[in-house]
A and B are shown apart, each in its own frame.
Chain A
């Protein structure tokens, strides 16, 4: 009956709307809350600042100020933790350097303001650890005396350095681990968004897995998120139900480890050392070490030799290392990994050496061909043979 609805219902509806709006805002901040739990499982590695080894004693860098801007929590156990750890390593390399960071800075206006605040506070170098390029461009233009390093940017500016990681170098080794551990020959791989860098890492992972286990297949699931425990839980369970006994993830939460532990399987992380969380299920993870790059750039700035432009680095450049391997990874596997790592560093091993087929049956890299290291950024809009799944249409 229409007459049942007395006036107060409006207030109830308005309250509902208000609470909905507030909960959406709270959910948006929730990323940091839920990542909080990870900290317990992660070593607070930032404290292990080793004393400087390389620098001559007596040098003092106290009038050089570096501010790092992080898009999430510095304790997310993954991407941001890695950057902060690299920042701490850099700090230890330059005695007395004034290093600080701000976290939870969303791209857009908040990021622009944070870059401006860093410059106003007297920073000589500002490091942006996510895709902040278009948020900081104007600030960099207006402050030519300040230097900026920003992840995955590309627009040339005289005082800006861009950096991106060759994840494939590390992902190949993770693939070797997965291929050797799987008994069902089904490996799950939840992916974030479909684009070149992500596809490239997935391809390298699969090539590694199939080097040691040609029967292995990798089930790729594109989730269209970087962090969403509910969606990730569903993906993890679906993969486990499909028979996957190893899951390698790029999407940020710990649900994969939990699900794999329940299924006597293994988990491979992404730039996080979560070997203490579900230790029986832990297999491996590549880690990024950006300090090599940060240190080089600061040395160049101090020497007046800063070069703007793009830097791309993997194993050879010292940008990639590995978390401790899990208890079930065999010595044989570790030996092969050592061999491949050494091969990539000295140039005798090439992940993308042809012939390589895609999973549609086409030859994408012919016999004798490869993708040069510097050209890898443009790869891949195809998935290698052995991957079950396809890049979402477009």
Chain B
């Protein structure tokens, strides 16, 4: 392992090298499958990044990814592993759609959207606290609890639409689905499918960067991440931070749900909302090294790969090859990032520091 090797050559060389490797391997696969690799890559580029129309749809797909990426990143900073972003996103969608449907349709849009954001974020934060409280007080492993809460959240959302005649469900629909949100509860479009959720996501990224880098709260979070015992010797409340960080993380993932339900599905639609945005957010955070500002470009990159699927199929590439190609790029870049950055950070902090549990 290349201990202590860092700096720009590793920082930028590795992802670029990994991408190049993936594209080369992908070209071979495409050629074997009888497709023209150049045409395929040009189509991928055209569909995702060439021109404003393509860029705006990539940004639309990146919007929730940025938010779930931030959710994972903020918890990673404290070495708390929230993999419940998926479920927290559903709670955000459930909370926001409840507000959108419960308030009078004539409620002014700024008021309506703010209320949806607040209630959605609160719902996600409370859902995350279901894992944070056992973590803080009984040291229950948050990887297990947040993962399990995903399934419960999914069942809850499915039950609201498929299993019951809930407030959310539209009784007129032959196939169960949510009631449509009124116009004032729909995030306005910037261009085509791109809506103001992207602004919320980018502002959240900058805010989080500021919070982590420029405030004493952020300093404490990072210190606890490096060494919880040292942090508690220094008088920091690890327990309180565990609760607040997981609540913040849950709120961010939930805002992704608010953005999807208000800007994209415009009603509580379980099928359209379960596209693994929460899980992809974890990968975003890993590749971005938990840096909130890094989350934005990484999300856009992953969204760009994902958005070209139907265009690639339409030039005659078999759907399996398309999925293989997308998965390959995804995996190579992630793996390259993970192993390089982590062996480096391993060397840096190897010393004698020991991890005590968060409750210590």
Footprint of B on A, CB under 8 Å?
Answer: 2-3, 5-11, 13-18, 20-22, 24-25, 28-29, 32, 67, 69, 73-74, 100, 102-114, 116-118, 121, 131, 134-135, 138, 152, 154, 164, 193-197, 224, 377, 392-394
For the complex, give the distance between the alpha carbons of A392 and B269 in Å.
19
A-contact bits for B251-284, CB 8 A (1 contact / 0 none) = 0000000001000111101011101100110110
Contact with A along B135-158 (1 / 0, CB 8 A): 000000001000100000001001
Q: Which residue of chain B lies nearest to A135 when distances are taken between CB atoms in the complex?
A: B272
From residue B265, how far is it (CB to closest CB) to chain A in Å?
A: 6
Interface string of B305-321 (1 = CB under 8 A from A): 01101110110000110
12 example contacts (A-B, Cβ-Cβ < 8 A) are as follows A6-B355, A7-B351, A8-B346, A10-B79, A11-B346, A13-B81, A105-B309, A106-B275, A109-B193, A131-B271, A164-B174, A394-B164
Number of B residues with CB within 8 Å of any CB on chain A: 68
Q: A7-B349, A14-B76, A18-B338 are in contact. Are A131 and B177 (CB under 8 A)?
A: yes
B24 interface hit (Cβ, 8 Å): no
Q: How far is the CA of A197 from the CA of B175 in the complex (A)?
A: 8
Report if B356 contacts A (CB, 8 A): yes
Asked if B166 is an interface residue, CB under 8 A from chain A, the answer is: yes
**Cross-chain contact of B162 among A7, A18, A69, A195 (Cβ < 8 A):** A195
B42 within 8 A of A: no
Of A2, A29, A74, A102, the residue contacting B314 (CB under 8 A) is: A102
- The answer to whether A17 touches B81, judged by C-beta atoms less than 8 angstroms apart, is yes
Considering only residues 309-354 of chain B, those with a C-beta below 8 Å from chain A are 309-311, 313-314, 319-320, 323, 327, 331, 334, 338, 342, 346, 349-351, 353-354
Check B214 for interface membership: any CB of A closer than 8 A.
Answer: no
Given the complex, which residues of A lie within 8 Å of B176, measured CB to CB?
Answer: 193, 195
**Shortest distance in angstroms between A148's beta carbon and chain B's nearest beta carbon?**
15
Q: Beyond A13-B79, A193-B163, A195-B176: 17 further Cβ-contacts under 8 Å?
A: A5-B354, A7-B354, A14-B338, A17-B83, A25-B280, A32-B320, A102-B313, A110-B306, A113-B61, A114-B310, A116-B57, A117-B47, A131-B177, A131-B271, A134-B177, A193-B176, A393-B164
**With a CB–CB cut-off of 8 A, which chain B residues contact A110?**
275, 306-307, 309-310
Known: A131-B177, A392-B163, A394-B166. A117 touches B276 (CB 8 A): no
**Candidates A104, A116, A392; contact of B323 at CB < 8 Å:** A104
Contact status A193-B162, CB under 8 Å: yes
Known: A7-B353, A21-B283, A195-B162. A154 touches B265 (CB 8 A): no
- Which among B86, B174, B193, B267 has the greatest number of chain A C-beta atoms within 10 A? B174
Cβ-defined contact, A224 with B158, below 8 A: yes
Q: Which residues of B contact A32 (CB under 8 A)?
A: 319-320, 323
Name the distance in Å between A345's Cβ and chain B's nearest Cβ.
24
Interface residue from B260, B307, B327, B342 paired with A113 (Cβ < 8 Å): B307
**Chain B interface (Cβ < 8 Å from any Cβ of A):** 47, 57, 60-61, 76, 79, 81, 83, 86, 143, 147, 155, 158-159, 162-166, 172-177, 180, 193, 260, 264-267, 269, 271-273, 275-276, 279-280, 282-283, 286, 306-307, 309-311, 313-314, 319-320, 323, 327, 331, 334, 338, 342, 346, 349-351, 353-357, 360
Q: Are B173 and A154 in contact (CB-based, < 8 A)?
A: yes
Min CB distance B287 to A, Å, is: 10
Question: Which single residue of chain B is at the shortest CB-CB distance from A71?
Answer: B271
Question: Which residues of A sit under 8 angstroms from B331, Cβ to Cβ?
Answer: 22
Min CB distance A56 to B, Å, is 31
Interface pair A21/B307, CB less than 8 Å apart: no
> In the complex, are the beta carbons of A100 and B309 less than 8 A apart?
no
Which 9 A/B pairs are nearest by Cβ-Cβ distance?
A394-B164, A108-B272, A114-B310, A21-B282, A193-B162, A107-B272, A102-B313, A24-B279, A5-B355
For the complex formed, measure the closest distance between the CB of B138 and the CB atoms of chain A, giving whole angstroms: 15
Residue of B nearest to A110 (CB): B309
Name, among B175, B275, B313, the residue most crowded by chain A CB atoms within 10 Å (CB to CB). Answer: B175
Residue of A nearest to B335 (CB): A18
